[in-house]
Amino acid sequence: MQHIILIGFMGTGKSTVGQEVARQLGCSFADLDAAVVAREGRSIPEIFATDGEAYFRERESQALADMLNHSTRHVIATGGGIVLREHNRELMRDGGYIVHLAASKETILARVKRDRNRPLLQGDMEERVSKLIQQREGLYDFAHTTIATDNETVVQLAARICKLADGSCK
Ligand code: S3P
């Protein structure tokens, strides 16, 4: 049973596009960040501020493993850092069809600039984004397919993914 798993840097549209893919295919949608927040009963900035990034990564990895165990096909939107752990990359590769949503640095900055919900982007945002893009170079390449999100609408992107992923839930 293959899930459809969206990976990609912050601001590439994983949650928005994922919801639309799920709608078009009639599949359930699951959002990893939202799952962690629900389990913890506090926001991502609060988790980072109180317990640090390492704690968040543990909770995120646990939530991913649980999510991949769903017995019905889900469209899963991950957080941008889920690819940092090799074990997560392996689990995802085993559990689904993986779509890497990509965007240029300029597009990412335009999309995230007013967002206060991303602790890793606090401070000089352009510098933070550049640095993280560099640090994560190659980590999204294990996806089955990569789609640039800069110039297409959410509905168009979702339709492309539905075609590629092949298999509705209806
Ligand atoms: C993170 C991305 C965020 C969230 C957390 C860390 C990252 O999710 O999981 O702030 O390390 O790239 P989005 O990619 O949905 O913004």
Whether 79 is in the pocket of ligand 1, judged by its Cβ within 6 Å, is: yes
Q: Is residue 81 part of an annotated ligand binding site? A: no
- The response to whether residue 10 sits with its C-beta less than 6 Å from ligand 1 reads yes
Tell me whether residue 152 is exposed, middle or buried, using C-beta atoms within 10 angstroms of its C-beta: 0 to 12, 13 to 18, 19 or more: middle
Q: Is 33 annotated as a binding residue?
A: yes
| 11 marked as binding residue | yes
> How many other CB atoms sit within 10 Å of the CB of residue 114?
7
Residue 170's pLDDT is 79
In the three-class reduction of DSSP (H, G, I as helix; E, B as strand; rest coil), residue 96 is classed as: strand
Q: Which residues of the chain have pLDDT under 50?
A: none
Please indicate whether residue 8, judged by its CB atom, sits closer than 6 Å to ligand 1. no
* CB 17, CB 6: distance < 8 Å: yes
Ranges assigned E (strand) in the chain: 3-7, 28-31, 74-77, 96-102, 145-148
Contact 95, 2 (CB under 8 A): yes
Q: How high is the pLDDT of residue 1?
A: 58
CA 19 – ligand 1 centroid, Å: 17
pLDDT of residue 168: 82
Q: DSSP letter at 78?
A: P
Q: Please name the residue whose Cα sits nearest to atom 8 of ligand 1.
A: 79
The pTM score is: 0.97
Q: How remote is the CA of residue 170 from the centroid of ligand 1, in Å?
A: 30
Of ligand 1's listed atoms, the one at least distance from the Cα of 78 is 15
Residue 166 has a pLDDT of 79
Residue nearest to atom 10 of ligand 1 (CA): 118
Report the phi/psi class of residue 166: left, alpha or beta, with left for phi > 0 and alpha for psi in -120 to 50: left
